[in-house]
Amino acid sequence: MGAAREGRVLHLPVLRASTRVRTPRAPRTHHVTTHITVDVDDEAGTAAARSYVTVFQALPDFPPQPVAAGRYRDRFARRDEQWRFTERQVRIHLVGDVSRHLRA
């Protein structure tokens, strides 16, 4: 679903252009991440994670409900003793009523 993108700078314009913002800087959604599995390679200073995500949305005239579900695949690197995201793949498998979450 969509082209591959890299880096924070490339993601922000896409998210801002496609997401409806209801309150200052918030689309009124909650992303629930479950079944998280992390594989760490301490020697290489890298890690990979897999998880499921369900996106819920609620508005005054839109009862709380799931609007999307899918998977995250993440990669991390340890730099200066801190773990940092290096990659996130998002695969959305189920889509509900996103009419109030995404722009047409």
Q: Which of 9-18, 33-42, 62-71, 86-95 has the highest mean pLDDT?
A: 33-42
Q: Which two tokens stand for residue 62?
A: 């839109």
| Stronger pLDDT, 3 or 94, i.e. the higher one | 94
Direct distance between the N- and C-terminal alpha carbons of the chain, in angstroms, rounded to an integer: 15
Specify the CATH number of the domain 8-95.
3.10.450.50
Task: Identify the CA nearest to 54 among candidates 72, 38, 37, 76.
Answer: 72
Provide the pLDDT for residue 71.
96
Q: Which two tokens stand for residue 18?
A: 């496609």
pLDDT-derived band at 63 (thresholds 50, 70, 90) equals: confident
Q: What is the 3-state secondary structure (H, E, C) of 6-48?
A: CCHHHHHHHHHHHECCCECCECCEEEEEEEEEEEEECCCCEEE
Position 77 pLDDT exceeds 60:
yes
Angle at CA of residue 71, ends 69 and 67, nearest 5°:
15
Provide the pLDDT for residue 3.
52
| Stronger pLDDT, 9 or 77, i.e. the higher one | 77
- Give the count of beta carbons closer than 10 Å to the beta carbon of residue 24: 5
By the 8 A CB rule, do 28 and 102 touch? no
pTM of the model: 0.72
